[in-house]
C-alpha cells in the first residue's frame, strides 16, 4: 500500500491520505487525525492538544512510514518466495520498523544522507502515537514497540515566566526507547544553528534572484523571530482581523515618532502573542518586496505586491479547482511572481534550494536563532560589554524581554542564546556575526555584478538592506531610508 497526501473536498487544514492504486482514503489515519485534534488524551494521557502544523507533520511522518513499508522485501512463509510490500497492520517492530530506523540512521550506507537521531525520534514518536490509537480503537495489528520511560520533572518556579498563572510546576513526559539514545546529541546552546551575516546575505541574494518574496520572508523571520508557520499565516502588511490597528508603511513613514508596531500571531498551543516590526525592517520589506525600486540602468525584473495580488485573484477566478481552496478577496502577505501564495513547504523548498546551491546549512528555524543571537550580541556591543559580561544578561531584563518576544514559557530556553554568545566569543566566531562582514566581501560582489546585471541589482538591494539593518540593530541614525 502506497499513500499520497492531497488537499481535497475543500478541507484546508489537513491533507487527506489516499491509496495511490485505489484512490480510496485511509480511514485509520483520518480517524487518528480527528482523535488527535479533539480527544488527544484518549490516545495517551500525557498528549496535549496540538497545533494544526504539528498534526500535519504527524500525518506526513505516518504516511512516510507506511510508504517505506510498501518498499520492504520479505519472504512469504507459505511460498518461501521473496515479495515486496508490507501492510502496516502486519508490520512488526523488530522485522519492519527497526530496519527502517537503522536505514535512516546510516543513510543506507551514505553518511551524508544519514538522519540525526533527534529527527528520527520525531518520526518514531508519530508512529508510536498512531499505533497507540489503533490499539485504543481495537484495530488488530502486531506492532509492539518497546515501552517508553515515563518521567516527571519539577520546574524551577523562578525560571517559569508564567509561574504566577501555572496550575502545576511539574512536567510529565516520556523518553523514547525505540531510538538509540546514545546517538542523540544534547546541546545547551544554538551555536551550530546561527548563521554568520556573510552566509545570511549570500542566502538573501540567492533567494532574491529566485523570487524576492523568499528573501523578504527570510529577512522578516530573522528580524521578527517568528516561527515559519506564524510568518506565513499571521504576518501582515495591512490591517487584518488579528492585527486590526496595523499601519501600512506609507502611514508609518508619515509618523516620525512611530519606530515599531506590534504584530499579533497565534503561537504553538493556539494562544495569541505578539512580536514587533521595526520601522527600519518595515522599510526594507516595503522597498524590496511590496513596492520594489529598480535602479536606473538595471535589467532586473521586479514585480510589486499589487501585481502579485492581481495575479492571485485572476488565478482564483480562472482556475476553479485551484480557486476552490482560495479566497479571491484575501490578501496573502507572501505571494510568488506567478500569483500563488507561498506555503510552508514552498518556503522550506526555497531554503533547501539555496542551501544546496551555496553549500550553507539552513532551515527556517535557524533564522529565529540567528535573529535572537544578533539581538543579544548587539546588546553587548551597544553597552561596551565583553565576554566576561555575559553573566550580566542573566540578571538584567535583556533575556526576559527576549523571552517574551520569542514566546518561551521557560526562561531556561531563552538562556540558551546567552550560552550561544559565550561559546561563540570563546571560539572567536563573533566577527562573522556583524553586518560589517558585508563590506569585506564587497569587492567579490562587484566582480559578480560586472558579469550579471541582475546580480548587480541584488547586491545593491543587499547593501541597502545591510545599511538599514545597521541603523536598526545598532540604534544609530547614520543611515537613511
Q: What phi, psi does 199 have (nearest 5°)?
A: -70, -40
Supply the pLDDT for residue 109. Answer: 77
**pLDDT tens for each residue of 453-479:** 555 555 555 555 545 545 444 444 444
pLDDT(167) > 60: no
**What's the pLDDT band for 77 if we cut at 50, 70, 90?**
confident
pLDDT(171) > 90: no
Give this prediction's pTM.
Answer: 0.60
Residues of the chain with CATH 1.10.443.10: 192-474
Supply the pLDDT for residue 226. Answer: 87
Grid cell for residue 82:
521473496
Choice between 417 and 274, residue whose per-residue pLDDT is larger: 274
Distance CA 435, CA 431 (A): 9
Residue pair 316/263 in contact (Cβ under 8 Å)? The answer is no
pLDDT(432) > 80: no
pLDDT(305) > 90: yes
Distance CA 316, CA 349 (A): 24
pLDDT(349) > 70: yes
Task: Classify residue 177 as exposed, middle or buried by CB count within 10 Å of its CB (0-12, 13-18, 19+).
Answer: middle
The average pLDDT across 1-28 equals: 75
The helix-helix angle for 52-71 and 98-106 (nearest 10°) equals 100
Could you count the other beta carbons within 10 Å of the beta carbon of residue 121? Answer: 20
The average pLDDT across 228-247 equals: 92
Distance CA 398, CA 393 (A): 6
Supply the pLDDT for residue 382. Answer: 61
- 465: closest CA among 194, 200, 256? 200
Distance CA 49, CA 214 (A): 31
Choice between 180 and 339, residue whose per-residue pLDDT is larger: 339
Distance CA 232, CA 257 (A): 29
Location of C-alpha cell 473536498: 9
The average pLDDT across 416-436 equals: 47
**What's the pLDDT band for 321 if we cut at 50, 70, 90?**
low
**pLDDT tens for each residue of 179-234:** 887 766 554 445 566 777 778 888 998 999 999 999 999 999 988 888 888 899 99
CATH fold of 192-474 reads hpI Integrase; Chain A (1.10.443)
pLDDT(420) > 60: no
Question: By three-state DSSP, how is residue 80 classified?
Answer: coil
pLDDT(336) > 90: yes
Grid cell for residue 170:
511539574
**pLDDT tens for each residue of 249-283:** 999 999 888 888 999 998 766 778 888 898 888 99
Query: What DSSP string describes 163-231?
Result: TTT-S-SEEEEEE--SS-GGG----SS-GGG---HHHHHHHHHHHHHH-HHHHHHHHHHHHH---HHHH
Could you count the other beta carbons within 10 Å of the beta carbon of residue 71? Answer: 11
Q: Tell me which of 187-191, 326-330, 351-355 is least confident.
A: 187-191
Could you tell me the CA-to-CA distances from 463 to 48, 164, 212, 297, 349 in Å, in that order?
A: 46, 46, 15, 17, 26
Q: Tell me which of 123-137, 242-256, 327-341, 435-449 is least confident.
A: 435-449
Query: What DSSP string describes 347-376?
Result: HHHHHHHHHHHHT----HHHHHHHHHHHHH
**What's the pLDDT band for 390 if we cut at 50, 70, 90?**
very low
The helix-helix angle for 453-474 and 197-210 (nearest 10°) equals 130
Could you tell me the CA-to-CA distances from 127 to 17, 62, 166, 401 in Å, in that order?
A: 15, 6, 31, 38
pLDDT(429) > 70: no
Question: By three-state DSSP, how is residue 403 classified?
Answer: helix
Amino acid at each position: 500500500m502506497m499513500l499520497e497526501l492531497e488537499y481535497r473536498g475543500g478541507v484546508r487544514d489537513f491533507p487527506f491520505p489516499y491509496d495511490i492504486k485505489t484512490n480510496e482514503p485511509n480511514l485509520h489515519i483520518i480517524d487518528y487525525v480527528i482523535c488527535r485534534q479533539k480527544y488527544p488524551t484518549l490516545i495517551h494521557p500525557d498528549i496535549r492538544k496540538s497545533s494544526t502544523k504539528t498534526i500535519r507533520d504527524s500525518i506526513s511522518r505516518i504516511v512516510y512510514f507506511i510508504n517505506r513499508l510498501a518498499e520492504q522485501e520479505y519472504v512469504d512463509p507459505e511460498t518461501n518466495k521473496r515479495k515486496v510490500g508490507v501492510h502496516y497492520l502486519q508490520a512488526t517492530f523488530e522485522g519492519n520498523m527497526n530496519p527502517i530506523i537503522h536505514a535512516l540512521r546510516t543513510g543506507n550506507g551514505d553518511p551524508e544522507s544519514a538522519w540525526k537521531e533527534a529527527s528520527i525520534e520525531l518520526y518514531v514518536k508519530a508512529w508510536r502515537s498512531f499505533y497507540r490509537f489503533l490499539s485504543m480503537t481495537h484495530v488488530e495489528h502486531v506492532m509492539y514497540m518497546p515501552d517508553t520511560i515515563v518521567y516527571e520533572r519539577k520546574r524551577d518556579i523562578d525560571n517559569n515566566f508564567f509561574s504566577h498563572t501555572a496550575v502545576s510546576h511539574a512536567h510529565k513526559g516520556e523518553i523514547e526507547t525505540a531510538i538509540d539514545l546514545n546517538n542523540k546529541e544534547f546541546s545547551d546552546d544554538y551555536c551550530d544553528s546561527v548563521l554568520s551575516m556573510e552566509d545570511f546575505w549570500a542566502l538573501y541574494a540567492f533567494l532574491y534572484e529566485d523570487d524576492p518574496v523568499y528573501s523578504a520572508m527570510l529577512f522578516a523571520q530573522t528580524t521578527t523571530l517568528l516561527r515559519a508557520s506564524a510568518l506565513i499565516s499571521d504576518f501582515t502588511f495591512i490591517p487584518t482581523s488579528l492585527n486590526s490597528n496595523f499601519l501600512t508603511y506609507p502611514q508609518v513613514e508619515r509618523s516620525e515618532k512611530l519606530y515599531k508596531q506590534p504584530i499579533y500571531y497565534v503561537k504553538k498551543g493556539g494562544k495569541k502573542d505578539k512580536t514587533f516590526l521595526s520601522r527600519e525592517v518595515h522599510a526594507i520589506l516595503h522597498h524590496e518586496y511590496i513596492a520594489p525600486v529598480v535602479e536606473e540602468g538595471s535589467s532586473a525584473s521586479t514585480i510589486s505586491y499589487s501585481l502579485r495580488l492581481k495575479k492571485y485573484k485572476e488565478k482564483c477566478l480562472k482556475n476553479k479547482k485551484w480557486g476552490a481552496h482560495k479566497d479571491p478577496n484575501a490578501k496573502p502577505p507572501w505571494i510568488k511572481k506567478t500569483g500563488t501564495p507561498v506555503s510552508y513547504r514552498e518556503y522550506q523548498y526555497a531554503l533547501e534550494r539555496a542551501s544546496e546551491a551555496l553549500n550553507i546549512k539552513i532551515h527556517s528555524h535557524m533564522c529565529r536563532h540567528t535573529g535572537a543571537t544578533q539581538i543579544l550580541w548587539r546588546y553587548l556591543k551597544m553597552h561596551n560589554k565583553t565576554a566576561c559580561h555575559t553573566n550580566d544578561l542573566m540578571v538584567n531584563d535583556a533575556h526576559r524581554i527576549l523571552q517574551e518576544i520569542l514566546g518561551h514559557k521557560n526562561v531556561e530556553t531563552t538562556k540558551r542564546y546567552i550560552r550561544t554568545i559565550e561559546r561563540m566569543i570563546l571560539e572567536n566566531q563573533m566577527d562573522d556575526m556583524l553586518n560589517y562582514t558585508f563590506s569585506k566581501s564587497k569587492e567579490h560582489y562587484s566582480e559578480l555584478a560586472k558579469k550579471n546585471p541582475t546580480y548587480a541589482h541584488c547586491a545593491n538591494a543587499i547593501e541597502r538592506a545591510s545599511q538599514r539593518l545597521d541603523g536598526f540593530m545598532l540604534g544609530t541614525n547614520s543611515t537613511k531610508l
